[in-house]
Amino acid sequence: MEPNIVSKARSDEAHDDNNGCSGVCAGGLGEESLAAQTEHHRDAEEVAHFESICESFRQHAIFSRRARTGHAARIAALPATHQSLLPLWMQQGSEENRHREVFMQEAEKRNQFFFDSLLRHAGKAISQEMLAEPERKWSSDDTMSKVSSVLKSLARDWSAEGVAEREQSYRPILDGFDRHVKVNKESDPPRILVPGAGEML
């Protein structure tokens, strides 16, 4: 993927900063991550936004654990008669509740590993590398809810559990393509622009 050089002036600056290399030196573009390549051509606001997203990814497990323990504390504050009306997996001290806690702890670890893998692929620091950061900026609950939405969207679009929702959401659109978009030959299928999706089907 070629870097998106947004202006000749910025390109000239990159040329000057790298002693004659165009944008990226030290052996060519292939030796840098995609994030490192594109950062040469981002403005300050875009870089700050990207970094805030990366930090939110790093903090996913922490916020998930906080939400889980807060939920448990609110249940514990209920009168015993009210707690007895809850499903067993919500009643603290029950075997079902203990199993669910173990399950949720494992899910938090796996989800954080997933986000760390994304960060590592982009050439950014992962969650464990930022634990000792003295002036760490914490993400907001609103931002973290969007991070959770990333997982929900991935589960919907790619998991076996998301089959039913995919059929409800996408089947009418795919059926419409079959009816209205003609395919002349298999080797040259039509390309369909999906606004907001960041790619073409």
Q: pLDDT tens digits for 136-151?
A: 788 888 888 889 888 8
Query: What is the value of pTM for the model shown?
Result: 0.64
Mean pLDDT, rounded, for 165-171? 90
- Burial of residue 27, with CB atoms counted within 10 A of its CB: 0-12 exposed, 13-18 middle, 19 or more buried: exposed
Report the 10 Å Cβ neighbour count for 101: 14
Q: Please check whether residue 153 is in contact with residue 165, taking contact to mean a CB–CB distance below 8 angstroms.
A: no
Q: What are residue 106's phi and psi, to 5 degrees? A: -65, -40
Cβ neighbours of 20 (radius 10 Å) = 7
Q: What are 200's strand-pairing partners?
A: 193
> Would the pLDDT of 192 be above 60?
yes
Determine what percent of the chain is predicted with pLDDT higher than 90: 37
Residue 82 binned pLDDT confidence (cut-offs 50, 70, 90): very high
Predicted local confidence at residue 60, as pLDDT: 92
- 199 or 166, greater pLDDT: 166
* Confidence at residue 196, expressed as pLDDT on a 0 to 100 scale: 67
pLDDT given at position 50: 85
What's the chain's average pLDDT? 79
How many CA within 13 A on the CB side of residue 19?
2
Helix 141-158 vs helix 60-76: crossing angle, to nearest 10: 100
pLDDT band at 37 (very low <50, low <70, confident <90, very high): low
β strands within 39-197, DSSP E: none
